[in-house]
Chains A and B, each alone.
Chain A
């Protein structure tokens, strides 16, 4: 087998794979943040907590209801999305007329509440969630061993990301959404129910986070703190990509996951900070973000 700069290919490709998996979570989460920000003009700090809720719904469905992974994959986004709809209707709607930063503070408070409640109930040591039997095992590709589940995570995230892109950029509903993002008052004047669109958008963004949570459950253990640190990295991803473009969010997410994975191979000490360092560089060179429009 060949070696690259003294790194065995097994380790290299293993980390690349893990990087791509993290990248898929970054992509789905930053996509959800961007969709929500576009229409509601708030940064959803509770996004990490909602991702964690997705993983927990999967765990609860399995342990309390006996529903397997595939049901959870549908159930968790629906349940957590419904919670999101309730949050938008009961709380966010009331502060929609205020400065956007209040939305950040409110969702930060929600994140603390959700995290605290789950930590009380389930502790912070993490709960195991098995890989679904259909996806157990892996393929030997000759140069590396590819676990089936990891391949599935990457494929599923790509499909969901591209489907979201298609929904927003190519369908009639997406056109309404883009119109409402551009000018809500005028869109409403054309007879489109913008408040409903706002609620559904928030619910959809939250559901995306929950979907990512279910995907993550077998890779990482199900833990009340799993979203807290992740969301800050996703914020950095969002700053790097800029929130102007859907495809931008997807590409940036995957690319940064990959970079993080490679850093883990070549300079492991920097792997947890590399995304922040890239953020600093992007701020210096192109403050609006790679895909952002200058304000």
Chain B
């Protein structure tokens, strides 16, 4: 299939991705992000920053699949939301410590991703998007109909934040913040590593020309499935962390609008750029915060941004920057 990320050729395509200058620049940006994470809770409201970080990780996970696997999933809410439910349920009803609950949520998302991914990669392009959307809607109906597990319309409320490893109390926002920041940074580094590993290079080769990659002896479907599972697991990690931060898991997290939101964040930040989704998440979460009082107008504005991005601004914020400085970001 032709795909979204390369048809617009974000700046990286023509430039060698392994040249030293780029690697140095990326390292500097990663260090800059780590530094910003240290400073952030002192200049901004920690819960807001944690929300941004959860969504940024979610968008990074989505972009791993779209930007580097060339697969547009319209159902990523399923992994985000299901992990969120599992984490909330086990932390509240089984009394798991937060790190175990988050890990369990991530594992369930990975399992779900394995099943759904194996089904969805049987079709390509537009069908792939429709299948992932339909499968996610199935998860939504399942969540709606099993209130014993999900709390139905109410969701799972008052999830205890618990004590990290049974020792460190996370009820304090500052304490929790360091955990969330660490999870985010680990996720970002993992994704960065995946993209730049031999595995990531093969995924890009399959994205750009699947028949050719197959003719070179790569089992394209296995790679696609693997990148799908990784993406689902990381989306689950973001969802599970969000459940601990907000002490809530609800139907919103598994609904198709959530899948649309993560697409939008990635689109605004820059499809197929390493750091774009982070910028997109910051922009969109900040916007939602300011517009929260406007009710249904938020939907209208999101739709307008969608249309404007597709028509006028396909490279996204980071994509434009990358083009200007002529280095892949």
Contacts and interface: CB of A to CB of B under 8 A. Distances in A.
Given A100-B126, A104-B72, A113 B296 contact: no
B141 A272 contact: yes
B260 A108 contact: yes
Interface stretch (B35-43, B57-65, B231-239, B306-314): B306-314
Interface in B125-164: 125-127, 129-131, 133-135, 137-138, 141-142, 144-145
Nearest to A277: B138
Interface string B292-317: 00011111111111110111001000
- Which residue, of B145, B303, B311, B314, has the highest number of chain A Cβ atoms within 10 A? B303
A239 B304 contact: no
Interface in A103-154: 104-106, 108-117, 119-120
A280 to B, nearest CB: 6
B72 A101 contact: yes
A284 B300 contact: no
B201 interface: no
A108 B306 contact: yes
A287 B123 contact: yes
A229 interface: yes
Size category of the B interface is 35 or more
A295 B8 CA distance: 24
B197 interface: no
Interface in B1-32: 2-4, 7-8
A273 B138 contact: yes
Interface string A14-44: 0000000000000000000000010000110
A112 to B, nearest CB: 3
Given A273-B142, A283-B122, A106 B299 contact: no
Contacts of A295: 124
A109 B305 contact: yes
Contacts of B72: 101, 104
A276 B260 contact: no
A73 B329 CA distance: 53
Nearest to A242: B127
Interface string A252-275: 000000000000000001001100
A102 B135 contact: no
A119 B295 CA distance: 10
Contacts of A279: 131, 134
B246 interface: no
A110 B307 contact: yes
Given A43-B130, A101-B129, A120-B296, A91 B307 contact: yes
B307 A109 contact: yes
B182 interface: no
Contact of B311 (A43, A106, A111, A113): A106
B256 interface: yes
B119 interface: yes
A98 interface: yes
B86 interface: no
A108 B259 CA distance: 11
Nearest to A117: B300
Contacts of A42: 126
Interface in A27-69: 37, 42-43
Q: What 6 A-B pairs come out closest when comparing CB atoms?
A: A109-B306, A112-B303, A116-B299, A113-B303, A116-B300, A276-B138
19 contacts: A95-B310, A98-B314, A101-B3, A101-B72, A104-B72, A104-B74, A104-B126, A109-B304, A112-B302, A112-B306, A113-B303, A116-B296, A116-B298, A232-B256, A235-B130, A273-B138, A279-B131, A283-B119, A287-B122
